Amino acid sequence: MIHFEWPWVIAFLPLPLIIHYFLQPIENVNEAALRVPFINEFSSGIEGEHRVDVQHRLIWFAIIAWLLLILAGMRPQWLGDFVDIPVSGRDLMLAVDLSGSMEEEDFILKDQRVNRLTATKWVAGKFIERRVGDRLGLILFGEQAYLQTPLTFDRTTVKTLLYESAIGLAGKATAIGDAIGLAVKRLRDKEEQSRVLILLTDGTNTAGAVDPLAAADLAAREGLKIYTIGIGADEMIVRSFFGARRINPSAELDEKTLKAIADKTGGRYFRARDVEQLEQIYQLLDELEPIEKDVQRFRPQTALFYWPLAIALVIMISVLMIRNKVSRYVG
């Protein structure tokens, strides 16, 4: 249905008549220096019925343009049908490690070897898509922690900014404690029992001003639940000049601290050694933090004012061009 947001604008409809009534027309004081008795014979083609007809048409076009301007000023909108939007009220923050160790290519995705960050983007992106109704935020951390996306219902933006992140963007080291502290700061004023942080890292705390366990204690006091994910394969074959050898690419992963952080805040620690395990973890997080079914009604609105406005402008420009052309011809 059509709805007018500013219907009071119609009160300006008689404004041109009011102006015409109170303002006297300006008399033409320019007189010809040379009077020609038979001038009417030269101008009869323009001064006759044809010119009067053109003037009448221009007046009607001006009236139509004014009506369209009034219509545009009333801000017409098309109101669609009501749409039910599920809203959980949960504030869920993702903290993703961008340190240099995330460059390790120990994950297989679609039969191709990829680094840890690429695998994280792939799985976390699908997780973000499923969180309809949650307010999502994104923290990126390396040597420092940055709030990349504040809490928002716009899941597309959160996913896009996650995909645009790059290794080393926040430094090569790992500041786990600072990431937790930043999440606590951003979620402190939110409703309790709805604040969740999912922290993903592949290393140990090597930078930052805040100790991870101290940050976890602060999070626990603020009612922030933290789920930690340790990412990285346990075994990897490396080929060199001396032959192939097996190494543990996750030797620096501090699982003890990640478990302690989760335990202190009432969350859980997960270990992701490949893409399949990482997907299972995010599916399990969907079960641990289910999306509630509270519903808010929303009615989509589509602005229509630019159509009458555009038509009015085209008519007004056409009227001015025709008037100028007629004036030059008469002159």
Would you state the structure tokens that stand for residue 181, as one six-digit string? Answer: 């502290």
pLDDT at 270: 93
Percentage of the chain modeled with pLDDT above 70:
79
Q: For 165-224, what is each residue's pLDDT tens digit? A: 999 888 889 999 999 999 999 888 766 667 899 999 988 899 889 999 999 999 999 989
pLDDT at 36: 46
72 in the same domain as 20: yes
Name the more confident of 164 and 79.
164
Would you state the structure tokens that stand for residue 243, as one six-digit string? Answer: 């032959």
What's the average model confidence in pLDDT over 8-37? Answer: 69
CATH for 189: 3.40.50.410
Determine the Cα–Cα distance for residues 331 and 329; give it in Å rounded to an integer: 5
DSSP symbol at 163:
H
136 in the same domain as 106: yes
174 in the same domain as 286: yes
- Closest Cα partner for 95 from 196, 26, 1? 196
- SS3 category, 284: helix
Range of the domain at 41: 2-26+36-80+300-330
Determine the Cα–Cα distance for residues 215 and 308; give it in Å rounded to an integer: 58
101 in the same domain as 52: no
Is residue 226 one of the residues assigned to a domain? yes
Is residue 210 one of the residues assigned to a domain? yes
290 in the same domain as 305: no
243's enclosing H/E stretch is: strand 243-247
Is residue 204 one of the residues assigned to a domain? yes
Amino acid at 170: A
243 to 86, 106, 239, 250, 261: CA distances (angstroms): 56, 19, 6, 21, 40
- SS3 category, 97: strand
204 in the same domain as 68: no
pTM, whole model, 2 decimals? 0.62
Is residue 224 one of the residues assigned to a domain? yes
What's the average model confidence in pLDDT over 242-252? Answer: 66
pLDDT at 178: 95
Name the more confident of 88 and 61.
61
pLDDT at 290: 73
- Closest Cα partner for 258 from 226, 282, 233? 226
Q: For 271-301, what is each residue's pLDDT tens digit? A: 988 889 889 988 888 888 776 555 556 677 8
Q: Say which residue the tokens 């959160």 belong to.
A: 158
What's the average model confidence in pLDDT over 299-324? Answer: 85
pLDDT category of residue 67 using cuts at 50, 70 and 90: very high
User: Residue 237 forms beta bridges with which residues?
Assistant: 246
55 in the same domain as 97: no
Q: What is the distance in angstroms between the CA of the first residue and the CA of the last residue of the chain?
A: 51
pLDDT at 34: 47
pLDDT surpasses 50 at 42: no
Determine the Cα–Cα distance for residues 81 and 17; give it in Å rounded to an integer: 40
pLDDT at 50: 59
Side-chain half-sphere CA neighbours of 262 within 13 A = 18
pLDDT category of residue 85 using cuts at 50, 70 and 90: low
Is residue 272 one of the residues assigned to a domain? yes
Is residue 229 one of the residues assigned to a domain? yes
User: Residue 243 forms beta bridges with which residues?
Assistant: 240
| Cβ atoms within 10 Å, residue 306 | 10
| Cβ atoms within 10 Å, residue 155 | 18
101 in the same domain as 213: yes
Provide CB contacts within 8 A for 124, sequence distance 6+: 94, 96, 162, 200, 282
Is residue 31 one of the residues assigned to a domain? no
Mean model confidence pLDDT for the chain: 82
309 in the same domain as 238: no
What's the average model confidence in pLDDT over 319-323? Answer: 80
What's the average model confidence in pLDDT over 321-325? Answer: 77
| Cβ atoms within 10 Å, residue 61 | 15
pLDDT at 263: 95
Q: Are 182 and 176 in contact (CB under 8 A)?
A: no
Q: Are 97 and 142 in contact (CB under 8 A)?
A: yes
59's enclosing H/E stretch is: helix 49-73
166 in the same domain as 185: yes
- Dihedral sign (CA 64, 66, 68, 74): negative
pLDDT at 38: 47
Number of domains in the chain: 2
229 in the same domain as 116: yes
pLDDT at 241: 59
pLDDT at 260: 95
266 in the same domain as 120: yes
Is residue 179 one of the residues assigned to a domain? yes
What's the average model confidence in pLDDT over 52-58? Answer: 74
